[in-house]
């Protein structure tokens, strides 16, 4: 099932969620709070959430966006689920590296690889 | 022979709103490209300026649209400098936990200043901490 909000494109396959962002720039605090709310609701609605956050097309991602992902990852971990970030551009990847969040998040090159490794 | 584009200068006090921040960002980005800054420079400057303005709006001015952010941006073909000042009380960065320390990686906030420092050549937080000054020179990022 596919569900689109103004901010996210969500493919819900029951046991696996794949989320893409609807814009290339994720910096606006209010939008990030809205995205966080949506994703938290999705994660909390599942006993063992498995999700892919696909960064295809994202060119700008702020520290507030990073914070949103940190919180989401905590929610997923509390439920013994898994969350993988994929398709991150080299420049955004550098942001994850500088903040050492590449040590916190599971990151794969593509969503196909993530799906394969999730089983 | 083509002459260098004229230097860009913006000195304004803006309301603490997303719309005003985007207006300033858009103007600066246009000028960066007109001055011939490459993609890496544009990315770095965009990130740092966006973080500084967002911090000013969100943390400094408490998202109060009536409070002002004073912005001073200068762009030439070989340098970017900016100063962003909010109306808040400021803060001492010594009291901001290092977001890259292992024990702080799971904290949601506090990465904006670290990112600015990583992408800019020089950063100064002017006491009492409600004004940040930054400079970017290509090839000189710290």
Domain limits, chain A = 2-118
Average pLDDT, chain A: 93
Please say if the pLDDT value at position A60 is more than 70. yes
Q: Render pLDDT for B33-50 as a digit per residue (tens, 0 to 9).
A: 999 999 999 999 999 999
State what percent of residues in chain A have pLDDT above 90: 85
Looking at the complex, report in whole angstroms how far the Cα of residue A70 sits from the nearest Cα belonging to chain B.
Answer: 6
The percentage of residues in chain A with a pLDDT greater than 70, rounded to a whole number, is 96
| Across A1-14, average pLDDT | 81
Mean pLDDT of chain B: 93
Contact B106 A74 (CB under 8 A): yes
In angstroms, the first-to-last Cα distance of chain B is 34
- Residue found by looking up tokens 């500088």 in the block: A98
Given 3.30.750.24, 3.40.50.1970, 1.10.4080.10, 3.40.1010.10, which CATH number is that of A2-118? 3.30.750.24
Chain A residues lying within 8 Å of B40, measured CB to CB: 91
Residues of A in contact with B106 (CB under 8 A): 70, 74, 104
What is the structure's pLDDT at B109? 87
Searching chain B, which residue's CA lies closest to the CA of residue A92?
B43
Residues on chain B touching A63 (C-beta within 8 angstroms): 51, 109, 111-112, 115
> How many A-B residue pairs are in contact by the CB < 8 A criterion?
57
The token pair at A12 is: 């819900």
Tell me the β-bridge partners of A4. A9
Count other C-beta atoms under 10 Å from residue A78's C-beta: 11
> How confident is the model at residue B5, as a pLDDT?
79
> Tens digits of per-residue pLDDT, B94-136?
888 999 999 999 999 889 999 999 999 999 999 999 999 999 9
Q: Give me the pLDDT at residue B4, please.
A: 76
Task: Examine the pLDDT at A3 and tell me if it is beyond 70.
Answer: no
Judged by CB atoms closer than 8 Å, whether chains meet at B105 and A103 is answered as yes
Which of A27, A89, A103 to substitute to test the interface with B, most B CBs within 10 Å? A27
Distance from CA of B2 to the nearest CA of A (A): 31
* ipTM, interface predicted TM-score of the complex: 0.90
Average pLDDT over residues B6-34: 95
- CA-to-CA separations, A33 to A38, A67, A79, A101, B8, in angstroms, rounded: 9, 10, 21, 20, 34
Cα of A119 to nearest chain B Cα, Å: 27
Nearest-angstrom CA–CA distance, A6 and B106: 28
Chain A from 54 to 73: CB within 8 A of any B CB: 60, 62-64, 66-68, 70-71
pLDDT bucket at B1, cuts 50 / 70 / 90? low
Higher per-residue confidence, A5 vs A82: A82
Per-residue pLDDT, averaged over A24-53, amounts to: 93
B142 falls in which pLDDT band (50, 70, 90)? very low
Q: Are B125 and B88 in contact (CB under 8 A)?
A: no
Average pLDDT over residues A5-21: 89
What is the model's pTM? 0.92
Q: Does B142 touch chain A (CB under 8 A)?
A: no
Instruction: Give all domains of chain B, ordered by start, each with its CATH number.
Output: 8-136 (3.30.565.10)
Pick B3 or A45 by higher pLDDT: A45
Q: How far apart are the first and last CA of chain A?
A: 20
Contacts of A27 in chain B (CB under 8 A): 50, 54
Looking at the complex, report in whole angstroms how far the Cα of residue A107 sits from the nearest Cα belonging to chain B. Answer: 16
Q: Compute the CA torsion angle B105, B107, B108, B111 (nearest 10 deg).
A: -60
Is the pLDDT reported for residue B140 higher than 90?
no
């Amino acid at each position: 099932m596919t569900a689109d909000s103004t901010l996210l494109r969500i493919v819900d396959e029951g046991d696996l969620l794949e989320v893409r962002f609807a814009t290339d720039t994720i910096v606006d605090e209010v939008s990030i709070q809205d995205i966080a709310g949506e994703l938290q609701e999705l994660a909390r609605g599942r006993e063992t959430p498995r999700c892919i956050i696909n960064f295809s097309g994202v060119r700008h991602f702020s520290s507030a966006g990073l914070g949103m992902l940190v919180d989401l990852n905590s929610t997923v971990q509390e439920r013994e689920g898994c969350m993988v970030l994929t398709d991150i551009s080299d420049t955004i990847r550098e942001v994850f590296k500088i903040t050492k969040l590449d040590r916190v998040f599971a990151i794969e090159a593509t969503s196909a690889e993530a799906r394969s490794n999730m089983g | 022979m083509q002459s260098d584009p004229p230097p860009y200068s913006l000195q304004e006090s803006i309301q603490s709103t997303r719309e005003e921040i985007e207006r300033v960002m858009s103007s600066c980005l246009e000028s960066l490209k007109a001055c011939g800054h490459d993609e890496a420079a544009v990315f770095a400057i965009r990130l740092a300026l966006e973080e500084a303005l967002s911090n000013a709006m969100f943390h400094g001015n408490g998202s109060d649209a009536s409070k002002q952010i004073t912005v001073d941006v200068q762009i030439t073909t070989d340098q970017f400098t900016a100063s962003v000042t909010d109306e808040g009380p400021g803060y001492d960065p010594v009291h901001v936990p290092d977001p890259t320390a292992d024990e702080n990686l799971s904290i949601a906030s506090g990465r904006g200043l670290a990112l600015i420092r990583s992408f800019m050549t020089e950063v100064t937080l002017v006491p009492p901490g409600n004004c940040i000054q930054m400079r970017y020179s290509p090839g000189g990022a710290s």
